Chain A
Amino acid sequence: MMDKRVMSKKGNLLTGEVIFLVLNIVFISILIIFVLSRTNSSAFLEEQYAKEIALMIDSSKPGMILHLNMEDAISKAESNSIAAADIVKITGNVVTIKLKEKGQYSYSFFNNVSAEKSNYLDTSNNKEWVFAITEKNEK
């Protein structure tokens, strides 16, 4: 009779502590997942890289070759079934970044140079994008 009561008390205590611990872990995990999803989202990376590339091109001069490490964007695009070679597109003076099926982000640069046909993924390491800046051919 005495043993039964002690067992029951111990069992309740353990269950309570375990649930308390599990709830804490769940709470903190949700918080971490939220922060990571916000800081590493496709939309955020698209905006960041479009603006970064536009600023790089703005400060460049014809003849320059720029290398940009886009490892995180490339892995994000591949996880969203977007080919790495299709991530960056430059049309006229507008840079467009696409890392997900739906949507993309565009930003313009004011430097009247051409990088439209001379930007490509560096296939030797598959994590850098190369921009060869050339003089714009006026019509």
Chain B
Amino acid sequence: MRLHWLLLQLKSPRPYLMMVGFIMFFGMWYLTVEVWQLPRFREMPGITKVFQEWTSPNPVFGLSLYTEEYYKHIWVSTWRVIQAFFLATLIGVPIGLFLGWSPRFRQYIFPIFEMLRPIPVLAWVPLAIVMFIATESSVIFLTFLASFFATTLNTMLGAESIDESFPRAAYCLGANKRQVFWHVIVPGAMPYIFTGLQISIGVAWFSLVAAEIVAGQFGLGYVINTSYTMVSYPTIVIGMITLGIVGYTTSALVRILGERLMQWRERERAIGGSR
């Protein structure tokens, strides 16, 4: 089954197109920095230098696939994102559902919510540091913020998007308010919730790096920032690529979880059906 799938993948043009995309990207990097040595890229670390450093057992600037510290930074960052993401989901999804479902709750909360939402994470940094004495909790708080707004807003839109026929049908069939919430509002909003969670984990990484640059002691954002002050440019790029890979992986995990939980959508899609 698995093998069959792999063969199908290899037959389709998709993996090859993806490879061409990567080759073009890395090729441009190589050409602009190392071959043509364009003025704007003079200070940029070249691709060969970065990959040498990254895969070297004895890295010049102290960070590579072979150093324990590299994995510690990855783990610290990932763990922060996980905590912030779960916290944001745990709080954001219920609030979003109630915002979308109950007009009264919405009248109380939504204006405040909309006023806080556009405030950039960086503007929260001083307050976060004042509020939480420990750096760890302030970094998690900052990461949580952006995540929370994305999750809540999408969940709210999801609850609002539910065709009014569905709760009506449920009431008709004898369901009470609580049952309508659990059997109609929650599953009905699920596609939007998962769109929100994918955005949420993306912005979690985004604000994590901002937080770590300002207030971290470990983590990939911290690596990028200290490498900049210590002029170890290849390490900056290593940090960036690592962020890209880890961020992509976490988003993919959220997406796969969503597909698992929403079989009905997958099966509808599989037959090309639309309601």
Asked if A pairs with B, the answer is no
Q: Footprint of B on A, CB under 8 Å?
A: none
Q: Footprint of A on B, CB under 8 Å?
A: none
